Copies of this chain bind each other. A is one copy, B any other.
Amino acid sequence: MNIGVFDSGFGGLTVLRALLDRVPTANYHYLGDSARLPYGSKSPRTVAHYAASSARYLVDHGADLLVIACNTASALALDAIRESVPQPVIGVIEPGAAAAAHASHTKRVCVVATHATIASRAYTLALAAHGIDSEEKACPLLVPLVEEGWIDHPVTQQVLRIYLDELAAQCAHSWSDGMPPDAIVLGCTHYPLLKPLFSRLLPRGMHLIDSADAVADEVATVAATFAPSQPADGPATPPHHPTNLRFSATDSLEKFRTLGQRFLGRSIRQVELITLPE
């Protein structure tokens, strides 16, 4: 089967990485709408417009199933995307919320993400549907720090400490009975690269929820309802070597390749430049 994976840039490659591990036999077409990134600072109307045109592009190029590997687009535009194509569409918010609900015993969860994702209240609502209370915090500097390559850098640690201290103060204010949150959702696909830093700074016993793994599980479930994949040509390929891995981007191919490898954890040989219909 053909899985289309969409993000505003290359952050969603952390989701593709989890998908390649979990559903290695599928064909993947990854589309990074890098000409219009970041989505995190844009309005819902604009994000929905951009995301729907990207979704249609992937479907027009053969996708049987779409993964919206972008928290902002999932938060602001999932319904708009589902309305724009007949194929099944999986976002990152609901699987991440479900995984957090599963991990939490205190039923109190923290979320860190971009301004737009937090402002959308998508995680608040998705977590509430699982009976979970949440406290959320926009951390807009983490994406540029990751893109600067300052992954394990004193400045990034200092910035993350400031954000986590502010989040802890929010929690103490909202939950004055002393019952602590016990899970935190990384609500942005750039953040998994900062997992070691988060682990170092978070209190003991706090579960770190990376939506990518949860999304991969859901995709595996949905993928199982499709006819088995036919390899594109030649004999069956072994697992962990997908038959077909295709990358398209709307801008900055060199940046996509260079930074993208860090997110995907493997080299990216070819990226095709495309223009999306407006």
Contacts and interface: CB of A to CB of B under 8 A. Distances in A.
Interface in A38-71: 41-43, 46
A144 interface: yes
A145 interface: yes
A42 B46 contact: no
Counted per complex, copies of this chain come to 2
A165 to B, nearest CB: 13
Interface in A1-54: 34-37, 41-43, 46
Contacts of A177: none
A42 B42 CA distance: 16
Nearest to A153: B162
Contact of A144 (B37, B144, B251, B278): B144
Contacts of A35: 36, 42-43, 46
A255 B140 CA distance: 14
Given A155-B159, A155-B162, A158-B155, A43 B251 contact: yes
Given A41-B255, A42-B251, A42-B252, 17 more contacts: A35-B36, A35-B42, A35-B46, A36-B36, A37-B41, A43-B251, A46-B251, A140-B147, A140-B148, A141-B141, A141-B148, A143-B144, A144-B144, A155-B155, A155-B158, A155-B162, A278-B278
24 contacts: A34-B42, A35-B36, A35-B43, A35-B46, A36-B36, A37-B41, A41-B252, A41-B255, A42-B252, A43-B251, A43-B252, A46-B251, A140-B144, A140-B147, A140-B148, A141-B141, A141-B144, A141-B145, A141-B148, A144-B144, A154-B158, A155-B155, A155-B162, A278-B278
